[in-house]
Amino acid sequence: MTRVQVLASAQELARAASWYIQHRLLEAARSRGRVLLALSGGSTPLPVYERLAKLALPWDRLHLFWGDERCVPPDDERSNFGNAHRTLLSHVPIPEANLHRIQGELEPKEAAQSYENDLRKFFGSEPPSMDLVLLGMGADGHTASLFPGGPELEESRSWAVNSEPPAGTEPALPRVTLTLPAINAARAVLFLVAGLDKRPAVSRILKVIGSGRETPAGRIMPKGELAWFLDREAAPGQG
């Protein structure tokens, strides 16, 4: 099932998203005891992380993963882990052992293999069924670090691979990303998308779900719920 919610502003988007996430995580804790969440990179989720840090969540039972990482050390300002640490992790009691960080400081291939090993150790042979995967989207329709026309899009066995952003993508850094099989094994996926520049890609994907398959974001079809939270600027058909 696909759910689309249009919020009046990026601020309202952050508020609605943090409630949605809280609801999903509490439900997972109630029904399965542990909670598996994959965080998104980019700037749009950061105000959401700041709000989550102020909420009552089952932090001790939460395992955190990442949808992707830029290949830089965690103290680099472009690090997705670093930004999550600054806005969320440093403010809440999550056990260090529950942080499944992508080691951006390693060589891209090595970092991807190390993350793959961590995922296989945690999930065994079953596809990694996260309770919730958070994703953003670029104006070109890329999501996590799955880029239009990239070989990583066709990966069918691995759960984590390295990828190269096309020219013009910021930051112009090698990446490590979850693959489509890993993301689509999730119980729920939440897209957080804000800004006018994203509207054309959103229109293509949402107009006829499934036909936006030329874009990486259009190939996100989780086994559970797919939710798109958009600000008015990113939403098709809004003034």
Q: Closest approach of Cβ 125 to ligand 6PG, in Å?
A: 27
108 binds ligand 6PG, rule: CB under 6 A: no
Rule CB under 6 A: choose which of 24, 51, 63, 142 binds ligand 6PG.
142
The residue behind tokens 């961590």 is 118
136 binds ligand 6PG, rule: CB under 6 A: yes
Neighbour count for residue 102 (Cβ, 10 Å)? 28
Cβ contacts of 135 within 8 Å, gap of 6 or more: 40, 67, 143, 144, 183, 189, 190, 191, 192, 217, 220
Query: Within 14-43, which residues bind ligand 6PG (CB under 6 A)?
Result: 40-43
Nearer residue to ligand 6PG within complex by CB, 41 or 82: 41
Contact 38, 133 (CB under 8 A): yes
143 binds ligand 6PG, rule: CB under 6 A: yes
CA distance 195 to 185: 28
CA distance 24 to 189: 11
Contact 206, 228 (CB under 8 A): yes
179 binds ligand 6PG, rule: CB under 6 A: no
68 binds ligand 6PG, rule: CB under 6 A: yes
Nearer residue to ligand 6PG within complex by CB, 78 or 120: 78
Residue sitting closest to ligand 6PG (CB): 136
Interface residues toward ligand 6PG, by CB under 6 A: 40-44, 67-68, 70, 80, 136-138, 142-145
